Structure 1
Amino acid sequence: MIAYLSGTARSAAADSVIIVSGGVGRLVTVTPAHAARLRDGMEVDLHTELVVREDSLTLYGFEAADERSVFRVLLTVSGVGPKLAMAVLAVLGADGLRSAVASEDQAALTTVPGIGKKGAARMLLELTGKLPAGGIGLPGTAAAPAVAPGDQVVDALVGLGWKQTQAEEAVSQAREATPDAAVPALLRDALRTLGGRL
């Protein structure tokens, strides 16, 4: 089990990055917003989860142990696999998911691509009382992003399956409505504009 990885970022893509440590490069799947903040040569510390399938081994990376804990709980929900669990974290974040579950907010859950009303209802039922309390991120991974918030959100939306032009238009509309919005709020507004449809 690879539970923690510290090394140098290389070749960040829409939703993955190669972390080089000890001369070995490991491909790690991360959320699109996280990937957008990574630059070649950046030192990175990740909490990780290795998901073993019959035909694959996939390493998922998280900035905080709390995110990994929430990811693990999401995998216990019927019909939720690693990709959908990462989409939940990309759109809502760990705290946003807690808030949605605590307030039984199905609408918030349906903003995640791949989750409809029935899936949201099932998630609320199965997650109630199971999510861990909030955690603290790793020092050293919260450096100021080198990418503008709008660009981060566009990258995140493209990573979630929308076309570049759709993502740019949605972000533009969201920024007009709330010019000073931070990345999470901008992402939520852009998703509302897109209507949760791929």
Structure 2
Amino acid sequence: MIASVRGTVLHVGLDHVVVETGGVGLLVHTTPATASEWRTGSEARLHTTLVVREESLTLYGFTHADAKALFEQVQTVSGVGPRLALAMLSVHSPDAVRQAVSSGDVVALTKVPGIGRKGAERIVLELRDKVLVGGAEPQAPAPPGTMGDAVADQVEEALVGLGWSAKQAADAVRTVGTSQDPPTEVAAVLRAALRELGR
């Protein structure tokens, strides 16, 4: 299993990137939003899942482990393969997918190409008791006065959603996290990061 890939981005497509690792260019399928975070020549690190089929080995990659965990989880539903799982994460954020499943929002799930009403109902039925809204796994609390990885990831995603690049978002969150007496709540970190980006 190839659990992660790190290296230089050789090519960026609409729904994939090619990352050079150890002299080998690996084609990694991803969501359009994730692909747009990278530029040719930049350094990328992706959490990956290798899907093995009789005729192919296909890598799927995500910026955050949270998205990778959900990608793998939705494939436990009968009739949901990697392409459909990726389509779900292309249309909705991981938290939006979890929210739709836990609240039984069939309409939101049918917005994904390839998922009809019956398929959406099956996803809700099979996953409702398994998904945790807000994260793939319960997070251990961060030590007092430090920002947890989950908080940093959430704030970075929010900033990218507001129009900043992944690098700008990561830099702003890092600056906030290394300041004297940094905030630890998502809302407070987001406000501080926005102030940092507004300078």
TM-score normalised by the chain length of structure 2? 0.68
Structure 2 counterparts to residues 34-53 of structure 1, below 5 A: 34-53=34-53
Whether the 8 Å contact between 1:45 and 1:140 is mirrored in structure 2 is no
Structure 2 counterparts to residues 1-198 of structure 1, below 5 A: 1-132=1-132, 134=135, 136=150, 137=153, 144-145=164-165
Aligned counterparts of 1:120 and 1:24: Cα–Cα separation in 2:
39
Aligned counterparts of 1:100 and 1:24: Cα–Cα separation in 2:
39
Query: For 1:41, what is the secondary structure of its paired residue?
Result: coil
Encode CA deviations 1:89-111: one digit per residue, 9 max, x unaligned. Answer: 11112100111012110000011
Unmatched 5+ stretches in structure 2: 137-149, 167-199
Whether the 8 Å contact between 1:101 and 1:124 is mirrored in structure 2 is yes
Whether the 8 Å contact between 1:37 and 1:145 is mirrored in structure 2 is yes
Aligned counterparts of 1:19 and 1:29: Cα–Cα separation in 2:
11
Whether the 8 Å contact between 2:16 and 2:29 is mirrored in structure 1 is yes
Provide the alpha-carbon RMSD of the alignment. 2.3
Whether the 8 Å contact between 1:45 and 1:138 is mirrored in structure 2 is no
Greater relative contact order (CA < 8 Å, ≥ 6 in sequence): 1
Whether the 8 Å contact between 2:102 and 2:131 is mirrored in structure 1 is no
The count of aligned residue pairs is: 146
Query: For 1:37, what is the secondary structure of its paired residue?
Result: coil
The match for 1:152 is: none
TM-score normalised by the chain length of structure 1? 0.68
Whether the 8 Å contact between 1:64 and 1:138 is mirrored in structure 2 is no
- Give the C-alpha shift of residue 37 in structure 1: 2.4
Whether the 8 Å contact between 1:63 and 1:138 is mirrored in structure 2 is no
Encode CA deviations 1:63-110: one digit per residue, 9 max, x unaligned. Answer: 111111101111111110100000001111210011101211000001
Aligned counterparts of 2:121 and 2:60: Cα–Cα separation in 1:
26
Unmatched 5+ stretches in structure 1: 147-198
Encode CA deviations 1:3-44: one digit per residue, 9 max, x unaligned. Answer: 011111121111111001221111100101111222101111
- Give the C-alpha shift of residue 45 in structure 1: 0.8
- Give the C-alpha shift of residue 128 in structure 1: 1.1
Percent of residue pairs identical: 51
Distance 1:56 1:138, change over 3 A: farther
Query: For 2:12, what is the secondary structure of its paired residue?
Result: coil
Whether the 8 Å contact between 2:37 and 2:165 is mirrored in structure 1 is yes
